[in-house]
């Protein structure tokens, strides 16, 4: 019988890794709450039509990467490949805009059939932010600053914000025609993927990773040359706002993002430490998506961060486990009962307590207590229980110093014990 394993591109998060993810999610919860964001959770399975209409039939995501299937009711279903379309669908379905603009964040697994590599799996996870119903360029600056500050709060440095304007739909359509003409004149010089995209999604060629195509594109017409006066003014205001927020950025006129719903602002936050998968956070403005899905006109902007890449960048800073406040050592049946009782009371006082169940000698349990890096050890033996007592030993004042202080408590003095531990 073959051993069962996870599918390729589907990765288990083991306990040592989960601690890092929990820390990031905890930072996100605090960070987004301070920014006045509310969390929204959507299903991982949606109607396939949502992504055909929302993302665009000619995108790589829809054309090559989605997990599609037919359920028992004959409905075409898809494991969500990204979060924005699902959030937009939920907003329209539940009429959330009747309560005014929505400032939302989400987290959860997404699915794309891609070649697995470091930081990119077929089941991957995102944290995202969506501002829906806000047209002001100040909302663009705020959304970017929330993402920038969050990454800094997680401990990431050496980040680069890349910025571009995709203009209005009218700007972009004029540019597309000029770009297609230019590309068709150089058709034989393009890589195979770019050749296929010319008449389907020419803007994506600007984001090509093929070196020869990238060199050719240095001479290509630039979208910035086709921006209307209004689009240019908006982009200038965004840059000024980011300068005022002391967020450094560079203009990347080839930054187009991979989904059809973007307009005006497009941005990515990148890191040199991820190789070819440099993007940590990516997003932009999508003013037409809500109306495309049957809702009212609702200018919107958002971003998403890949958790796997974020964890890789955070490394040991985020994966380092927290030390318990107390390690409970005990031997004997009566001591075990008292140990569990004290453990539960201390946890109720918001202390982190690890209870030893090994039943091994006190010396071995003390070694485990020291390895856990706990600040204190509570020691309970049968003799102590018979006297209605237990002892508490200070293991360290800091990471390197082992304490020698020992305190004897009566069983009734649990409040005094808690005060001592908290102090």
**What pLDDT, on a 0 to 100 scale, did the predictor assign at position 38?**
97
Q: Does some domain include residue 21? A: yes
Same domain, 340 and 253: no
Give the pLDDT of residue 127.
Answer: 97
Boundary of a domain, candidates 258, 286, 318: 318
Query: Based on the domain organization, do 158 and 131 belong to the same domain?
Result: yes
CATH code (residue 418):
3.40.50.800
Instruction: Enumerate the known binding-site residues.
Output: 82-84, 112, 126, 130, 257, 261-262
Confidence at residue 400, expressed as pLDDT on a 0 to 100 scale = 45
CA–CA distance, 208 with 213 (Å, rounded to integer): 7
Residue 201 lies in a domain: no
- Among 278, 294, 318, identify where a domain stops: 318
* Domain range for 288: 15-168+228-318
Same domain, 125 and 31: yes
Residues 70 and 157 in one domain: yes
Instruction: Specify if 173 maps to a domain.
Output: no
- Final residue of a structural domain among 318, 352, 370: 318
Q: Detail the residues annotated as belonging to a binding site for L-histidine.
A: 82-84, 112, 126, 130, 257, 261-262
Residues 360 and 305 in one domain: no
Question: In terms of domains, do 294 and 348 share one?
Answer: no
User: 330 and 296 in one domain?
Assistant: no
Are 308 and 363 contained in the same domain? Answer: no
Q: Is residue 61 part of a domain?
A: yes
Whether 188 maps to a domain, the answer reads no
In a domain, 9, yes or no: no
Domain contains 84? yes
Are residues 234 and 374 both part of a single domain?
no
From first to last of the 423 residues of the chain, give the pLDDT tens digit. Answer: 578 999 999 999 998 888 889 989 999 999 999 999 999 999 999 999 999 887 776 677 887 899 999 999 999 999 999 999 999 999 999 999 999 999 999 999 999 998 888 778 999 999 999 999 999 999 999 999 999 999 999 988 889 999 999 998 888 888 888 888 898 898 888 888 888 888 777 877 887 778 888 888 888 888 888 899 999 999 999 999 999 999 999 999 878 765 666 789 999 999 887 665 588 999 999 998 999 999 999 999 999 999 999 998 887 766 666 788 999 999 998 899 888 988 998 898 888 999 999 989 999 999 999 988 898 999 998 888 888 778 888 887 654 444 444 556 666 677 777 777 776
Quick one: 249 and 389 in the same domain? no
């Amino acid at each position: 019988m073959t051993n069962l394993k996870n599918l390729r591109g589907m990765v288990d998060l083991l306990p040592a890794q989960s601690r890092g993810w929990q820390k990031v999610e905890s930072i996100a919860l605090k960070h987004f709450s301070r920014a006045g964001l509310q969390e929204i959770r959507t299903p991982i399975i949606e109607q396939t039509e949502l992504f055909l209409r929302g993302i665009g039939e000619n995108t790589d995501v829809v054309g090559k990467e989605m997990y599609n299937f037919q359920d028992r009711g004959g409905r075409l279903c898809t494991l969500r490949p990204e979060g924005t379309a699902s959030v937009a669908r939920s907003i329209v379905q539940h009429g959330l805009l009747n309560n005014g603009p929505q400032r939302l964040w989400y987290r959860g697994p997404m699915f794309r059939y891609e070649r697995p590599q470091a930081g990119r799996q077929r089941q991957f996870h995102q944290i995202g932010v969506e501002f829906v119903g806000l047209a002001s360029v100040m909302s663009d600056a705020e959304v970017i600053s929330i993402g920038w500050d969050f990454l800094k709060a997680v401990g990431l440095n050496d980040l680069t914000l890349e910025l571009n304007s995709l203009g209005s739909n009218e700007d972009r359509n004029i540019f597309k025609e000029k770009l297609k003409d230019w590309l068709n004149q150089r058709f034989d010089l393009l890589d195979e993927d770019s050749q296929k995209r010319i008449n389907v999604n020419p803007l994506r060629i600007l984001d090509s990773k093929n070196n020869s195509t990238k060199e050719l594109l240095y001479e290509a017409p630039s979208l910035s040359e086709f921006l209307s006066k209004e689009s240019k003014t908006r982009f200038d205001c965004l840059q000024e706002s980011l300068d005022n927020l002391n967020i450094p950025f560079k203009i990347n006129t080839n930054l187009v993002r991979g989904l059809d719903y973007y307009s005006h602002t497009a941005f990515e936050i990148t890191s040199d430490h991820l190789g070819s998968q440099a993007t940590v956070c990516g997003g932009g403005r999508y003013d037409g998506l809500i109306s495309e899905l049957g809702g009212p006109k609702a200018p919107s902007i958002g971003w998403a961060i890949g958790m796997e890449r974020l964890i890789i960048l955070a490394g040991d800073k985020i994966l380092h486990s927290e030390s318990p406040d107390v390690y409970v050592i005990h031997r004997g049946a009566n001591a075990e009962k008292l140990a569990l009782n004290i453990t539960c009371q201390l946890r109720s006082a918001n202390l982190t307590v690890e209870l030893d169940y090994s039943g091994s000698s006190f010396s071995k349990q003390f070694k485990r207590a020291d390895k856990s890096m706990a600040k204190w050890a509570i020691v309970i033996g049968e003799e102590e229980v018979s006297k209605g007592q237990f002892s508490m030993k200070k293991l360290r004042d800091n990471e390197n110093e082992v304490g020698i202080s020992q305190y004897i408590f009566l069983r009734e003095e649990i409040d005094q014990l808690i005060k001592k531990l908290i102090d």
